[in-house]
Structure 1
């Protein structure tokens, strides 16, 4: 036994010792040159993109199709633009600037912007143009509107697929009047065209509310309608709705905007968007004209309001003038002729000026109090002026007190007459000027540019939409790729095994199309081996590399037997076992392959041998070693099949005769390869592993997560079986990052004749 153990297939004359094997193994694992991190990252990114190129192409193509569909079905939107100028307030006559304090402040552009968007202006437009009535043909979802817009015939288009209730182009309706109960405002009604200009209106529940004829007012219970025009096939349906004033204004405001052009330019830009270029031009023009009219009305109303105030003051002032004159004349008659000295006349003149100014300021204050509170700056300014006039009047009162009593009385009476006459005359003149101003009011805004509608639709152009769709398609495909790679936890890189499990990967076997063909043939009964039929295949070349690597890596093995297993089914462990046995036999080694998968073993098929007389018969004592050994067409290669499938494979493998089988085979052959069931599926591999010299696990690219491999290694270790390393199987070298070799694992190097 000891002599046999020293006769391992991994030792050969002239082979260096253990330290040399370690150095060789390390050298094999580090053969690829190290690129700089930046170049490697860029290369990996490009490789990943190339791996998923069909996904990127499919998603991008789908996005382009959606973009084309959007271009086809999207309703074109047009924009109408207009320009207004806000001027300083002016009346009908330039000479009335003195009335500016009575007519208010200069126009505020920000206030005018709000007025242009107010319900006062937009509500009038809605009412005048009947924008609160919605009457449009009902089109087929998604494509119906696009088909209708592209139909240019005079008569209604024929229905598609017999869908006669939808409009397919050419249908017209004009509703001049629609009255509904308050509960039905903003609710959708349906108008169904009938024969010879007839129609029927139904509510949202499909109940008929009235019937009528085109050109005649139709009246039903709580409903009335006047349809001026209806051109449609009988049975065609129209969406009908009466909007509330608030909803109609909000709908108009949603597509309407106004802003100042430039800073402090007093130029206001108005724009309105919509699907009907003719209608939006009419609506925008009416908005500007309505705003202009209300501006003139507002200016005229201000003048009228001031005039009304003055006319209420004039009768009282006339009475005051008459009373002052009567008092003055009576006093002079009672005292005789009285003349004022020059000094008294000077004082009288000054007092009259002060009194007139005070009266005018009080009138201005009364006018301002109608619009402002006493704390307003304008009223405060008037109060300050009145206070200064009162101080001047007190100074004059001191001068008057120094005059004789007769002179004081004459001065007071003459002052009252003068002040009353002057004030009355000024108010008469002001009232007359206001009457002229009211008649000549032109407003302080004017239309610079009437509404103009662009010939081309606004918004993104078809080319831009397709460009955006292309970009979004690429970006979305990148997101999908990222999610797939983030959610996909399977091992696709052998370096992950080495870094996370700390075990070497002795070989990376690329995917073989030839092996797929051979497996397809084997299902029809013709079994062939890849290493025999296609010895130049890259997968076979990788197994030759595994043969060399194992020679140095397993020099310290105590037995010449090698267990090959995996974590789960379908990893290709039997493929590795069979073809590794062939490449070992091709260099003169005496090799035997033991099919220890007593549940699903099928290695005998590829060698054209029978299942009977195998492991189960030997362990059961029903056959000798010579009886279970089967030669193959490959020189130096024998196989031991599973034998009859036993009901208790694990118990059979635990029998001492199974250990005897491996020991006797080890004495006869240079290498014993044992193909075992998956570790996580059954416990057979853990049982067999205690009787072999080394254990290799097969991992398949993209088949299982690293956690599965970790659990398999852990389970073997718990059973006292040490996993020597891994064989990474079925690496897809067609992917870009593997095409020219994956960091030294795979290189394409064919024979040349």
Structure 2
């Protein structure tokens, strides 16, 4: 039986130990580049998935670690408790209106002070967040200092919980403002939610309740303060008028008793009634003027508290035109009053005519003109607001409302001033009438006038004072607590579940990012797919020998076989039916049958650098070829670091050096091995110039002589990626095998080797991947489970049990 027949009778198709696919279309052309079959911009989702799957333990470890760290951080952070309460912010109503006030004082106070007319939630939210309220809260908490459990309020700590020294009031106030949140519960409701966050649940509940109490108290004080100036003025006026009335009445009685005069004529009596009415109107205008002036001061103070000087910038818009219009309107209203006083019947007319209709039309015209100018002034002030900077949100709304109210009050103030001035002029004209009466009648008329006027004034002021005093005392704060702050049981921060979730996600992101970055910069041949990307065929994948050596040879480097000490890396010799030996048979099969038309006599094995297993590949390839019946000579051309003689347990000399330079014959240098068909030609003595030896004609002649004697000559050379000793030999060799080691050889190194081989026009048969560990492979088409199953199936395969 011929060697070819012997080889063909062996079954090499049971299991996968080669490249896993036929050498499609390979003709031995020296194409060294990578395959461009796959679009580099195309995303291979399957590859992406298996890349992550192959690194699942890194992802799991990172996720677990980050989740644990996040949990540790969550449990080490000081917990924050949140308490909430709610209160209804709504106007308490205009008590003056309910008391039946008919003199316009109620509407005047409501429109002047904005109390009794409601207040926008936006304004009240600003008050709740104001520095004034927080300072009052800080003062209250500093006075109490400890909570009901006997511990100090955390907000008072210099540094909670390490330093319990109390900080300054302004610092506490700022902390309170930062920890509070006020929000409208619903756009349609006047309900405000008050929330406070604190390391202490007791402090959180206490602060919520304290803020609502202080706000209600502050609002009450502000509401009552609004009428304080008017009440004080009315009280003084009532006392003054009462004293003057008593004096005038006493003088009238004395005069009447002395002069025996008890009555004035009808015209004088009418004049006295008109003057009394005008004095009453004048007194009412003065009261309103005092109230408006007080309100203006308060609004200016609120505006200036937002920005100093802001009130003056807004209110200066009132010009002389408005003053003149107010004065003329006051004259028309006095003229109308006198007309009605002289003609009482006109008051009952449903449709005024004549002079009264004319006066009504003029009054309406002036009022419309004043309203138009007021609207223009307010619009101009709103436009001015746009130049203040980034005043936005509730602050801008508050400024706009205060500004509008201030302008309206300024106009109203001028109106009352004009009324007082016109009434003073009219009263001066009426008083001149008395100069034409007899002396005794003048005195009597004057005394009666004074008594009537002071009686009317006293009644008016007394009524106003009573209403105002009652109204002042019945004013309360706008805020009414609905839900008190509760003591929270569970903290709102940190959210432990959220922390762990973030740690989980962060762990996944970091691990996946690390994997992708590592993959992007990973240039090691760590998968079969990477080696298949080169257009050269992958001749065989040689598994790692570690397990084989450990199980069968206790991890030793050498073992004695038939009295000869051989290397345990010669797995094809030591255990020919192993999976490792089968991978070398696959290499032999692919070399021989992939090149049926080419006479391959010399096969050279090289690598990109040392330690990649080229000598082991060459030795085991020679063994399986010899077992197949071929006569094989193995030449150790790695003259710098020879190892073949050690692997087979042979003498190193005579060898190649002795044949080329010392005159020894090839037959003398060849060493027999444990296999009859396999002979080894060791390196021999160390040459002074290894490159010169391998490029010499004598060396080439030695190879030619071996080719004539043996079927195959397997040549082990230095790593061609770094040593060029074998350049000339490579050109004359029939085929070259490039060896790469799994998870050690770098892609740039392999590419450099293939480029060098291409430069010398070498006929590269293909590549071999050594020391393959299927548990560490990053293959995704043939992943861990595929390789494991294939190797296990081979181990279970029993040739002997079939017969």
**TM-score of the superposed pair, with normalisation by structure 1:** 0.70
| Alignment partner, residue 527 of structure 1 | 567
User: Structure 1 residues 114, 576: CA separation in 2 closer, same or farther (over 3 Å shift)?
Assistant: same
Aligned mate of 2:221, from 297, 316, 329: 297
Q: Distance in 1 between matches of 2:747 and 2:784?
A: 20
| Alignment partner, residue 203 of structure 1 | none
Cα deviation for residue 696 of structure 1 reads: 2.0
The alignment partner of 2:732 has SS state of coil
| Alignment partner, residue 77 of structure 1 | 80
Q: Distance in 2 between matches of 1:134 and 1:721?
A: 91
| Alignment partner, residue 736 of structure 2 | 695
The alignment partner of 2:654 has SS state of coil
Which structure exhibits the higher relative contact order, with contacts defined as CA atoms closer than 8 Å and separated by 6 or more residues?
A: 2
State whether structure 2 residue 111 is matched by structure 1 residue 101. Answer: yes
CA RMSD of aligned residues (A): 5.2
Aligned mate of 1:506, from 535, 539, 546: 539
Stretch deviating more after TM superposition (339-348 or 534-543): 339-348
Q: Distance in 2 between matches of 1:705 and 1:76?
A: 52
Alignment gaps of 5+ in structure 1: 1-7, 14-22, 136-171, 177-184, 190-236, 403-407
| Alignment partner, residue 526 of structure 2 | 492
Relative to total residues, which structure has the larger strand share, 1 or 2?
Answer: 1
Cα deviation for residue 45 of structure 1 reads: 4.0
Q: Distance in 2 between matches of 1:607 and 1:482?
A: 45
Contact persistence 1:561–1:674 (CA under 8 A): yes
Contact persistence 2:669–2:682 (CA under 8 A): yes
| Alignment partner, residue 670 of structure 2 | 629
Contact persistence 2:94–2:110 (CA under 8 A): no
Q: Distance in 2 between matches of 1:343 and 1:505?
A: 130
Contact persistence 1:354–1:393 (CA under 8 A): no
User: Structure 1 residues 520, 641: CA separation in 2 closer, same or farther (over 3 Å shift)?
Assistant: farther
The alignment partner of 1:452 has SS state of coil
Contact persistence 1:84–1:449 (CA under 8 A): yes
The alignment partner of 2:266 has SS state of coil
Q: Distance in 2 between matches of 1:253 and 1:300?
A: 26
Contact persistence 1:63–1:473 (CA under 8 A): yes
| Alignment partner, residue 26 of structure 1 | 24
State whether structure 2 residue 151 is matched by structure 1 residue 111. Answer: no
Q: Distance in 2 between matches of 1:186 and 1:272?
A: 17
Q: Which has the larger radius of gyration?
A: 2
Q: Distance in 2 between matches of 1:365 and 1:563?
A: 112
| Alignment partner, residue 172 of structure 2 | 248
Once the two structures are superposed, residues 575-609 of structure 1 have per-residue CA deviations (whole angstroms, 9 ceiling, x without a partner) of: 22112222222222211221211222212222221
Once the two structures are superposed, residues 542-592 of structure 1 have per-residue CA deviations (whole angstroms, 9 ceiling, x without a partner) of: 333332222244456576211111111221212221122222222222112
Aligned mate of 2:132, from 114, 120, 132: 120
Contact persistence 2:659–2:666 (CA under 8 A): yes
Once the two structures are superposed, residues 326-367 of structure 1 have per-residue CA deviations (whole angstroms, 9 ceiling, x without a partner) of: 9x999xx99x95435999999999989987886676556544
Cα deviation for residue 633 of structure 1 reads: 1.5
Relative to total residues, which structure has the larger helix share, 1 or 2?
Answer: 2
Show the 5 A alignment for 1:136-155: none
State whether structure 2 residue 377 is matched by structure 1 residue 453. Answer: no
Once the two structures are superposed, residues 368-394 of structure 1 have per-residue CA deviations (whole angstroms, 9 ceiling, x without a partner) of: 543356967999999888765544556
User: Structure 1 residues 591, 269: CA separation in 2 closer, same or farther (over 3 Å shift)?
Assistant: same
Stretch deviating more after TM superposition (91-100 or 703-712): 91-100
User: Structure 1 residues 696, 660: CA separation in 2 closer, same or farther (over 3 Å shift)?
Assistant: same
Q: Distance in 1 between matches of 2:207 and 2:726?
A: 86
Contact persistence 1:701–1:728 (CA under 8 A): yes
Q: Distance in 2 between matches of 1:496 and 1:444?
A: 78
The alignment partner of 2:726 has SS state of helix
Alignment gaps of 5+ in structure 2: 9-20, 28-36, 301-310, 343-354, 356-428, 435-444, 560-564
State whether structure 2 residue 205 is matched by structure 1 residue 281. Answer: yes
The alignment partner of 1:650 has SS state of helix
| Alignment partner, residue 567 of structure 1 | 608
Q: Distance in 2 between matches of 1:108 and 1:474?
A: 50
Q: Distance in 2 between matches of 1:672 and 1:264?
A: 97
Contact persistence 1:369–1:379 (CA under 8 A): no
Contact persistence 2:524–2:744 (CA under 8 A): yes
Cα deviation for residue 270 of structure 1 reads: 1.7
